[in-house]
Amino acid sequence: MGSIIQFKNVEKYYDKFHALTNINLDIHEGENVVLIGPSGSGKSTLLRTINGLETIQQGQLIVDGKDLSSSKTNLNKLRTDVGMVFQHFNLYNNKTITENITLAPRIVLKRPQSENEKVAKKLLERVDLPDQGAKYPAQLSGGQQQRIAIARSLAMDPKVLLFDEPTSALDPEMVGSVLDIMQDIANTSDMTTLVVTHEMGFAKAVADRVIFMADGKILENSKTDEFFDHPKTERARKFLSQVEHK
């Protein structure tokens, strides 16, 4: 499989703060990649550059053949192929669950509403919420809302799906149901997924590869078993000893 995402010497600043330093990274089509590291290490920033929510200052970032460092790149078109699930669900509270799922395909993809509703019905079954379509977000738990947010992203049939700490805002008892859905997506689709998470069990079960970041840099880029069994850097060893003994 070829590379669907390529970072080449990417630099990102917030004023004088160096958020991403010399990022070189290839993500292959169909790969499931997990980004881990301490808070403030640049994981979410890296993720948000992939669909243009954050701009880079130097280097080159190519996503599905489109150069994000070029002013000619149509970011709205790019985002139809690169979905994102956020830490907070960002659902439309004044629309039903079905309306939340069907809105973007109807407006952006110009897909007929009858087809959108069939897709929404299948996706609600896939995220194990088949009877919730007529409800509003406020009537659902946080975990249920996050599963709806995942369904909404899947409705656009993206090539790449980004997850930015999707379970960190949830009550502990709701985390498992969301991770199960994410694992099902990783195991049963040819979509490329990138996940920022602190859930090490999920990373071990799902990731083809683990990217470890600290201080805006990629310190390790390894196959999952290699990373967890034999981390190469002291920084990664320290991080794992802290998170795995909580």
Q: How does pLDDT run across 46-60, given as a tens digit for each residue?
A: 999 999 999 999 999
Q: What is the pLDDT of residues 129-144, one digit of tens each?
A: 999 999 999 999 999 9
pLDDT of res. 245: 60
| 3-14/82-85 β-pairing | unpaired
Cα 40 to Cα 19, 36, 46, 179, 233, distances in angstroms? 9, 11, 11, 23, 18
Q: Which phi and psi angles does 82 have, rounded to 5°? A: -125, 100
Q: What is the pLDDT of residues 7-56, one digit of tens each?
A: 999 999 999 999 999 999 999 999 999 999 999 999 999 999 999 999 99
Q: Which residues of 64-103 are buried (b: 16+ CB within 10 A; e: fewer)?
A: bebebeeeeeeeeebbbbbbbbbbebebeeeebbbbbbbe
Is 18:216 a contact under the CB 8 Å cutoff?
yes
Domains, the chain, with CATH or none: 3-243 (3.40.50.300)
DSSP annotation of 138: G
Six-digit token string for 21: 């330093």
- How many Cβ atoms are within 10 Å of 232's Cβ, its own excluded? 14
Global pTM reads 0.94
Q: How sure is the predictor about 246, in pLDDT bands with cuts at 50, 70 and 90?
A: low
pLDDT of res. 127: 95
Residues 6+ apart with CB under 8 A from 62: 3, 5, 6, 8, 68
